[in-house]
Structure 1
Amino acid sequence: MATFSSVSRQHILQALAEYDDRGGDAFLDLYGFAPTPGYELVHEDRGYDVKAVLGVAHRFATGRLATPDAFSSGMANAVAILRKRGFQVTEPAGAVRLAPVKPARAPRAPRAAAPRAARPISSRTTDARDAPPRLCPTCSMTLPSTGVCDYCS
């Protein structure tokens, strides 16, 4: 099952541009998607297939196409991802709007708080490493720690 967390709005826009260039049927055939009845991504007054666009956007994001069987959890997650990225998605008239399915997380084990040592307060605002290197006034080479230029002395 594909995760779509890496899919950004830009990846979806790339998939929409390819959909427009190829045409809807050729786009679906090329990537092996069947039309998804009732669900439509609407962008700039044009309709697009939700699964196909999201699957190809996943390819732009990760290099791997999300195949049609990657949507086994239903359309709720796909619709939620597209809406979260700012797109309008229409649903069938009788569709029940369900919350997207989130995978369950294992509970965390409580951590024992270790006592922290007090940090000494420093009055120095700059560190020696932050200071710019000293340069030789004659040849502009960085001076060694002795302060005497190896080339000019």
Structure 2
Amino acid sequence: MTTVGSHPGGGYPRGVATLSAVTRPHLLTAIAEYDDRGKDAFIGVYGLQPSTTESLVHEGRSYDAAAVVGVAHRYATGRVAMSDELGKQADGVEALLRKHGFEVKDGASRPGAGAKAPARRAAARPAAARAPRPAPRAAAEERPPAICPTCFTQLPGTGVCDNCA
């Protein structure tokens, strides 16, 4: 399997993350996953580095802005945008979040911002809310309509042809 950036002609080269594909629904999905997992597990499962520069504030809770955007990038493109890729874009994370209506705060003066609030919310939610959603059921196969053998019209629910009976 080829990793991103190792194939000379394919994929995005390592170090470039295009954020134009990331939408508000992608960001909200990443926030929901952050809530479900908690900060440490969310950052750890994707191999991200905790950020101390910016915090995303949503519904009164603080989140690691770069981690949320990196995972939202995964929902948009299929590939997690790592912190070093996001840092190469001038105000890319902050601009993207503000563009989609989120509040962004400078977290440098508040170390550990976002570490506790999401974990409390995830623990307070009922287990049913944290359970994965079931896969959508396939539509029931439709039967062809019953046809009158004499006049070839569709039979009503009674099964008796109105024209031939």
TM-score, normalised to structure 1, is: 0.58
Asked whether the 8 Å contact 2:55–2:107 carries over to 1, the reply is no
What does residue 72 of structure 2 align with? 57
Structure 1 contact 32–68 (Cα < 8 Å) conserved: no
Mapped contact 2:54–2:65 kept (Cα < 8 A): yes
Q: Work out the percentage of aligned pairs sharing the same amino acid.
A: 52
Distance 2:43 2:34 in 1: 9
**1:22-65 Cα shifts (integer Å, max 9, x gaps):** 00111011111122114100000000001110000000011111
Equivalent residue for 1:137?
Answer: none
Deviation, 1:72, is 3.4
Give the conservation status (yes or no) of the 8 Å contact 1:83–1:89.
Answer: yes
Question: Quick check: 1:43 aligned with 2:50?
Answer: no
User: Match of 1:81, as an amino acid?
Assistant: L
The residue aligned with 1:33 is 48
Q: How far apart, in 2, do the equivalents of 1:49 and 1:72 lie?
A: 13
1:75–1:46 distance in 2 versus 1, CA, 3 Å: farther
1:73 aligned onto 2:88: yes
Distance 1:77 1:69 in 2: 12
Please say if residues 40 and 47 of structure 1, whose CA atoms lie closer than 8 Å, have aligned partners that are also in contact: yes
Corresponding position: 1:91 with 2:106 = yes
The answer for the alignment partner of 1:11 in structure 2 is: 26
Query: How far off its partner does 1:69 sit?
Result: 2.0
Larger-gyration structure (1/2): 1
Which position in structure 2 is the counterpart of 1:149? none
Q: Which has the bigger relative contact order, CA under 8 A and spacing at least 6?
A: 2
Equivalent positions of 1:96-107 (< 5 A) are: none
CA distance in 1, matches of 2:28, 2:58: 9
